Amino acid sequence: MSCSSVEDLPEQCKLTHKITHDLFTQDGVLLKASLGRPITDLNSIGMLCIVQNMDGSKCIEWRPNDLITIDSDTQDQEWAVVNTIGRRQRTLSGNMTSDYEAARARIIRIPLDELKSFKVSRNNQQMQFSTKQGVWQNTCYFQHGNAEIFLSYLKNHVKTAKTRHDRNTYVVVEPNVESQVLNKSFAELDIFTENTTDVVWNLVSNFKQRPYETTMEAFSKLTDIVYYGEGVNGKREMSDEVADLLTKSMSALEDTTSIARSEEYEVINVKPTLPPRPSIPRGTPLSTEKWDGLQDPEGRITEVEGVKQLIFRGGVAHSIRHSVWKYLLDYYPWKMTKAELKSLHKKKTEEYFSMKLQWRSMTEGQELRFSEYRDRKSLVEKDVNRTDRTHPFFAGDNNPNLVVLQDILMTYVMYNFDLGYVQGMSDILAPLLLLMGNEVDSFWCFVGFMEKISSNFDMDQAGMKQQLLNLQQLMAFITPDLAKHLASKDSGNMYFCFRWLLVWFKREFSHRDIMRLWEVLWTGLPCANFHLLICVAILDAEKDVLISKDYGFTEVLKHVNDLSMCLDVDIILSTAEGIYHQIVSSPHLSDQIRVILGLPLALKPDVPETEPTTFSNGNDIGETEEVTLEYNGHEISVVTKTVWALLA
Amino acid sequence: MAKTYDYLFKLLLIGDSGVGKTSILFRFSEDAFNISFISTIGIDFKIRTIDLDGKKVKLQIWDTAGQERFRTITTAYYRGSMGIMLVYDVTNEKSFENIKNWIRNIEENASADVEKMILGNKCDLDAKRQVSKERGEQLAVEYQIKFVETSAKDSLNVEYAFYTLARDIKAKMEKKQEASNPAGARSGTHQLRDERPKPTSWLARCSVL
Ligand SMILES: Nc1nc2c(ncn2[C@@H]2O[C@H](COP(=O)(O)OP(=O)(O)O)[C@@H](O)[C@H]2O)c(=O)[nH]1
Ligand SMILES: [Mg+2]
């Protein structure tokens, strides 16, 4: 993907000698036309950014790529964790060269308060900007992806109206309207700060004096706390009153924008919404040729990250799955030579058979006096007889493959006696055995898979509960209306997704599709817990049915169970990836969501601040202090610094 | 809109893994049996509407996964059950011994006045039998619960079991309705103070339409 917020691109953070700060960057943007520029400056690739200056003003900046590479060796670790919400400034570290100066001269800067209008065209791939009525001075072409995400960011920073006659042209609304909007919105808010226990609203009044658009962002943050953060735990719903008032104040904001409304314009709303969901096509499976080409002469796999990327995009061609899966499941180390693998294989084979011998040599008498062992054995037996029996590989009476299934699971009991056999494991193993066709390899692949999902089988089910909770939190962030519906139907605990999570969708897809889904998930890309986004993708597609039919507790469960074998794996993968991009480029992304997906946190409180804070707003709350706000009987713990990052 | 049933009863099948809960449910709802049935993960339910004394009774029957560690999740679905089938496997001693544990589990998680029935399943497998019919009957007497041996495979007593449980629920419900009905009290029937439905009982939740 070409879109990214700054945390992905630390090397691009120190480009100007003025103290500035990138709010958003998008690479792969071609400068197609620019009024008054020499032709040699055109048709070069660069990065399109929204930048904040020292004085708080902002501009759109296009920088040529050669400028970026010049400065790429200055990495700023601290900066790497700062996201689009954390507003911090930075300075250039000073390794300036004359090349750099030349490149700098080619930067194009469009101050946002001069921006009059902009236009999106060519299938969302082209954007034009104008600071003067009737002239498009700059034209940019988005080579990777499209302009949608940039556009949604830009719209966070300028108030716009679409012209009626051309839906692709946006007119920037008079900036000085902002202060009036602010006053009106807080006048509105004051009506309900009467409820003094409501600390969140007290917090709101604290930054009343702040400039419009930052307040707006803080406000959207608050809306999160109220709309998405708290109500959906199944414990407490946001009171209707508050919801109503929030909506009112939101519409108050919208209404004031209509000061600029004329016959020609239509006001675009300013509600905190997720950026549009990009639709990302799936790729082709990793082919035999590519796989062979990725091995060095000794047989080591080079470019592991690249391989994983390819697999994430398109899966693995069936003919090489038996080989690739061993790496994905951490049975074969990527960096081993063919010779080393051969001796590893020998070692693992011996290890397997010695474990197998342990239970095989148990005498009948021993078994009789070892009830725990007996119970496990009979549990395995029962499940083996009920695993994928409709598949030809496991069908029929006295099928020898059932014996292998049983042997592997019993040996796993010896391998991991503390965990033992837990129902669901036979479902996990069956596709591995089916593909590998070999007892030893299937066992070690199974061990690798179990390593990834062992918390699913915790005695106290803590791992499952945690995932269900995380899923609920993701739902609240991405489809708050569905999350709200489920919570209102006693289904906020997401228990109806239990089967999906326990065996990683094994029961929901055909054998062919589950192989594809699993290999993609094993790459660990693009983030931690991507399988939860698979759940979100499936549920998001069912949202309309679940809500419009007002499905309750039992109907939700039934509907979800009945989705089995009716799901399209490619569509779901593509949707889940789109959701991932929506999340990472969302301006109101919370730390809670970051933690779930393993994304870098907004701020590290222990990193020393080297620069003075841009916004000195007279509010001196201790920087790393943790405060607990009480809101509707809920305790919300926040690190003040994070609060300021969110509110600044 | 015309209603399709007069009563809706929520029933629950519990017991050790592999005793035949899913098979019993499949037999009752589809009248079929499949020797290589798929093991249950999580929870599901099936519906069958039966006729009881001229009333249409819709049975919503919940099937759970057996293994101990999943119980924290599955017990969430016990709520609101009006009848529970406790199933063991006559060829498996352990599953029979565990019935007591299951009863304790119900006491902790279901409403106190839930109707119960014990089923000794797989009675077609006489050669492998480990639990005699007498022991099953004895246990049932001990807990004052009805008991029957069944075979999902041979379709033995499965219908009988569900009809019996449903009839008992219906009778209990109608008795309670009568008890709390002032007309009944006037007509001279003795008032049963202790039988007034507690707020937590299934009666408070059951849908009589
Ligand atoms: N012979 C026989 N086998 C049965 C009977 N009921 C179930 N089974 C078998 O016992 C195994 C476990 O049954 P299942 O319904 O999945 O048990 P559950 O775990 O309690 O749901 C399956 O292989 C069934 O085919 C029965 O009445 N007679
Ligand atoms: Mg079952």
Best residue for ligand 1 mutational test, from B37, B43, B155, B157 (most atoms within 8 Å of Cβ): B37
Count chain A–chain B contacts defined by CB atoms under 8 A: 71
- Any CB–CB contact under 8 A between A416 and chain B? no
Q: Which residues from chain A sit within 8 angstroms of residue B46, using beta carbons?
A: none
Cα three-residue angle A382-A386-A389, rounded to 5 degrees:
145
Of A423, A427, A495, the CB nearest to B17: A423
Q: Hey, whose CA ends up nearest to atom 28 of ligand 1?
A: B122
Atom of ligand 1 lying closest to residue B40 CA: 21
Q: Are A253 and A245 in contact (CB under 8 A)?
A: no
Q: What is the dihedral of CA A341, A346, A350, A351, to 10 degrees?
A: -10
Q: Hey, whose CA ends up nearest to atom 3 of ligand 1?
A: B122
- Name the burial class of residue B43, with classes exposed (0-12), middle (13-18) and buried (19+) by CB atoms within 10 angstroms of its CB: buried
Closest CA to A511 of A328, A318, A336: A318
- Closest ligand to C-alpha of residue B74 is 2
A150-164 burial, b at 16+ Cβ within 10 Å, e below that, comes to: bbbbbbbbbbbbbee
Using the predicted structure, report yes or no on whether residue A445 has a pLDDT greater than 70. Answer: yes
In DSSP terms, which residues pair with A630 in a beta bridge? A635
- Closest ligand to C-alpha of residue B44 is 2
Structure-token pair, residue A143: 């080579």
- Any CB–CB contact under 8 A between A493 and chain B? yes
Under DSSP, is residue A385 helix (H, G, I), strand (E, B) or coil?
A: coil
**Torsion sign, CA atoms A611, A612, A615, A621:** positive
CA of B19 to the centre of ligand 2 (A): 8
Closest CA to A463 of A404, A416, A520, A422: A422
CA of A376 to the centre of ligand 2 (A): 17
ipTM over 0.90? The verdict is no
Choose, out of B38, B44, B74, B78, the residue to mutate when testing the contact with A (most A CBs < 10 Å): B38
Q: Summarize pLDDT for B3-44 with one digit per residue, the tens.
A: 789 999 999 999 999 999 999 999 999 999 987 678 999 889
Q: Are A489 and A455 in contact (CB under 8 A)?
A: no
Closest CA to A287 of A313, A309, A320: A320
DSSP 8-state assignment for residue A61: E
Q: Are A456 and A463 in contact (CB under 8 A)?
A: yes
Q: Hey, whose CA ends up nearest to atom 11 of ligand 1?
A: B18
At residue A268 the predicted structure's pLDDT band, cuts being 50, 70 and 90, is very low
Please give the residue of chain A at the shortest CA–CA distance from B36: A386
Atom of ligand 1 lying closest to residue B63 CA: 21
Distances (CA, A) of A280 to A48, A66, A314, A317, A567: 21, 28, 12, 20, 18
Using the predicted structure, report yes or no on whether residue A144 has a pLDDT greater than 90. Answer: no
Q: Are A502 and A464 in contact (CB under 8 A)?
A: yes
Average pLDDT score over chain A: 76
Smallest Cα distance from B177 to chain A, Å: 26
Higher pLDDT, A634 or A505: A505
Q: Summarize pLDDT for A473-492 with one digit per residue, the tens.
A: 999 999 999 999 999 999 99
Please give the residue of chain B at the shortest CA–CA distance from A390: B36
Contact B43 A422 (CB under 8 A): no
pTM: 0.65
User: How far is it, in rounded angstroms, from Cα B9 to Cα B81?
Assistant: 8
Q: What is the dihedral of CA A390, A394, A397, A399, to 10 degrees?
A: 170
User: Using a 6 Å CB cutoff, which residues line ligand 1?
Assistant: A 385-386; B 17-23, 35, 37, 39-40, 66, 121-122, 124-125, 151-153
Under DSSP, is residue B9 helix (H, G, I), strand (E, B) or coil?
A: strand
- Any CB–CB contact under 8 A between A383 and chain B? yes
C-beta atoms surrounding A6 within 10 Å: 21
Provide the pLDDT for residue B194.
41
Comparing A160-174, A456-470, A620-634, B104-118, the range with the smallest average pLDDT is A620-634
Q: Which amino acid is at A40?
A: T
Using the predicted structure, report yes or no on whether residue A622 has a pLDDT greater than 90. Answer: no
HSE-CB for A220 with a 13 A CA cutoff = 22
Q: Summarize pLDDT for B74-84 with one digit per residue, the tens.
A: 888 888 899 99
Residues 6+ apart with CB under 8 A from A385: A402, B36
Please report the DSSP string for A346-371 in residue order.
Answer: HHHHHHHHHHHHHHHT--HHHHHT-H
Q: Which amino acid is at B208?
A: V
| DSSP run (H or E) holding A50 | strand A44-53
Using the predicted structure, report yes or no on whether residue A612 has a pLDDT greater than 90. Answer: no
- Any CB–CB contact under 8 A between A423 and chain B? yes
- Any CB–CB contact under 8 A between A498 and chain B? yes
Best residue for ligand 1 mutational test, from B14, B23, B31, B64 (most atoms within 8 Å of Cβ): B23
User: How far is it, in rounded angstroms, from Cα A286 to Cα A383?
Assistant: 34
User: How far is it, in rounded angstroms, from Cα A336 to Cα A341?
Assistant: 6
Closest CA to B21 of B78, B72, B65: B65
Smallest Cα distance from B66 to chain A, Å: 9
Smallest Cα distance from B37 to chain A, Å: 5
Comparing A106-110, A273-277, B196-200, the range with the smallest average pLDDT is B196-200
Q: Summarize pLDDT for A309-366 with one digit per residue, the tens.
A: 999 999 999 999 999 999 999 999 999 999 999 999 999 999 999 999 999 999 999 9
Using the predicted structure, report yes or no on whether residue A535 has a pLDDT greater than 60. Answer: yes
Choose, out of B11, B39, B40, the residue to mutate when testing the contact with A (most A CBs < 10 Å): B39
Higher pLDDT, A606 or A547: A547
Of A461, A557, A561, the CB nearest to B73: A461
Inter-axis angle of helices A480-488 and A462-478, nearest 10: 130
| DSSP run (H or E) holding A189 | helix A177-191
CA of A478 to the centre of ligand 2 (A): 34
Provide the pLDDT for residue B67.
76
Q: Please report which residue ranges of B20-116 form alpha helices under DSSP H.
A: 21-30, 71-74, 93-109
| DSSP run (H or E) holding B202 | helix B202-205
Provide the pLDDT for residue A615.
35
Q: Summarize pLDDT for A150-187 with one digit per residue, the tens.
A: 887 788 788 777 776 677 888 887 654 444 444 344 33
Structure-token pair, residue A542: 């069912």
User: How far is it, in rounded angstroms, from Cα A393 to Cα A479?
Assistant: 41
Under DSSP, is residue A618 helix (H, G, I), strand (E, B) or coil?
A: coil
User: How far is it, in rounded angstroms, from Cα A462 to Cα A466?
Assistant: 6
| A474 phi and psi angles, rounded to 5 deg | -65, -40
Of A389, A461, A502, the CB nearest to B72: A461
CA of B86 to the centre of ligand 1 (A): 14
CA of A387 to the centre of ligand 2 (A): 12
Best residue for ligand 1 mutational test, from A382, A387, A399 (most atoms within 8 Å of Cβ): A382
Comparing A17-26, B7-16, B41-50, the range with the smallest average pLDDT is A17-26
Structure-token pair, residue A197: 């226990």
